Structures are given as C-alpha cells and as structure tokens.
Chains A and B, each alone.
Chain A
Amino acid sequence: MAEPAWLLAKRSATAALLSITLTDIVGNIARTHGDSMQPTLQPGEKNLLGFLKGDIVFFEKISAAAYKYHRGDVVVLRSPSDPNQWMIKRLIAMQGDWINVPGSYEILQIPKGRCWVEGDGGNISLDSRTFGALPLGLVQGRVTHKIWPPHRFGRVERVFPKGRVMLDDEV
C-alpha cells in the first residue's frame, strides 16, 4: 500500500527538480500582457475563459549566462522598479554606445555594464526612456520564438535599430 505512494512521491520530486533545472538553465516561457511590444508581440483580446490572452513566447537563457546579447535582440528582463515584475523589450544599445534619446535632442553614452531597452510600441512603452540605461544584470534571457497563438507562431527576429545607435568607434 505504501510503496506506490512512495514511488509517486519520488517520481514527482524528480520531475520537479528536472523542470526547475531546465527552466533555470535552458529557457522558459512567458506571456505578454501589455501593448509595449506591438506589433511584434500582441497583448491579445479577452476570450471566454479569461485566460490565455496575450502571446506566449519562449526565451532562452543559455546566451544569458555569458551575457552574449546583440543589439536588436528581444529580451526578457526584471523591472528595476518592481523586482516581481518582468518586462519584454528590445535591446537597442549596449555599453559605450551613443544613443539619441527619443523626444529630445539629447545624446547620451550608455555607461559601463548597462544597456538601453525600448519596446517596439513607441510611446506606450515603459522602458529606458523612463528608467534610463538599465544594468545588464537585469536581463534574464533572449526571446527566440512566439509559441501561442498558433496563427502567429514563428521566430522573433533580431532587428538592428538603424539610425538610433552610434557605436563608440563611429563617433
């Protein structure tokens, strides 16, 4: 009587450890629930059940461990104003780059160890235009694919931000 219960407990524990390890090291999925990455990622309409709104994306953490990000990647990062909130934005500039702050004539250089992220949606996005350059340690992974809804399944491409960024050796 006790043996199948023990076996079930052991198998559940193994499955839990395995899934935690894989989601920490390989990658995880995230659901968007804001307009800031339109048109790349949509927040979705309310359906009858009230859930599964918003695109679900897969983000990988293998490049995160070595901080191998490129300008134009869509990344998942933790919010600097609320550690429990996560954001999905596009990486526009890395340390040392010069960037024109949108909406003003200001040009600033991204300090060491920081990056500039912006949402594709323009003014509705809460991103580096509000927070300033964010420490790269906040970035948790790189979005590679949209996996839900099925009619929008596909890769999320790296789009180099033309005309926004000047690299340090071009200045």
Chain B
Amino acid sequence: MFSDIARKFCQVFNLFCCVHVFHAHVGQLHYVVGPSMFPTLNATGDLLFLERFSVRFQKVNVGDIVVACSPENPRVLICKRVLAVEGDSISVLPEPYAQDAAKNVLIPKGHVWLQGDDPYKSRDSRHYGPVPYALLQGKVQLRIWPPHSWKKF
C-alpha cells in the first residue's frame, strides 16, 4: 500500500516538475490587465502567451512587447513595449502633451527602455528610467483570450 502511495506521489511530483520547467523556461500564460498598452491590449484584460527563449538568448528587439518585474515593486509584473535597447539614444517626451520638452536619453549597457502604448495612462521608463535587461521575464507572442481577438504579435 505504501509503495502505491509512493508511486502516486512520484507521478504527481514528476508532473509538477514538467509544468514548472515549461512555465519557467519555455513559455507561460499571463492574464494582463491595465490601460497602459491601449489600444494594442485591452484595458479589461487579455490572456497572453509569453515565451522565455527570446529573453534568455537576448533576442529581444525594439518594438517587442515584454513582461518584466517592475523596478518599483518586484512583486508586480508590468507589460510594456521595448522602445530602445542598450547603446541607443532615444528622444523622450516626459509629458505627452508638451511637445517642446523632449530630452535625449542614452540607454546604458544592459538596460532597455520600456514604454506603454498609451502615453497618457502608462507609468514606465519615463518615470523610473531605463530598466535592467535582467528584469525582463518574457516576450509576448500571442493573445489567446478574448477569443475573437486572437493575435500574433
């Protein structure tokens, strides 16, 4: 009887390990809510599929949508678009409606510039500066839910 319980336990543990390895190293589903990426993503919530390989092998390009740990609170994940990578110089409008207050920012080594698609509603690199690349968690590839707005990014 104990060997049956032990075998069942091993099977469950095996399944847990498979799920964890997929979730942490291949890809994961993420439910993203918030207005900062409007109109690309819905403010009421989208189920997105992220993949981890691009981040692990540093194949994140300008224009990709990524999910990262927030530099202001490590327990919170943020979903923004990469507008610049290390070495780029980007012209930033600190306030979206003050066109003549643009300033140039040089992105330091190992950092990226994250910005939401809706500049009025997004709290992003314009507020907390360039984000270290090591905080990126995954690149958004697909929108799965709502089903009528299936999309590959």
Contact = CB atoms under 8 A, between A and B. Distances in A.
A83 B71 contact: no
Which of A14, A67, A81, A111 has the most C-beta atoms of chain B within 10 angstroms of its own C-beta?
A81
A79 B134 contact: yes
Interface in B64-90: 69-75
A139 to B, nearest CB: 8
> What bracket does the count of chain A residues touching chain B fall in?
20 to 34
Contact of A17 (B14, B73, B109): B14
B58 interface: yes
A106 B85 CA distance: 31
Contacts of B131: 135
Contacts of A24: 20, 24
B134 A80 contact: yes
A136 interface: yes
Which of B20, B108, B134 has the most C-beta atoms of chain A within 10 angstroms of its own C-beta?
B134
B71 A113 contact: yes
A29 interface: no
A20 interface: yes
Interface of A: 14, 17-18, 20-21, 24-25, 67, 78-83, 111-114, 134-139
7 contacts: A24-B24, A25-B20, A80-B134, A81-B132, A112-B73, A135-B71, A137-B135
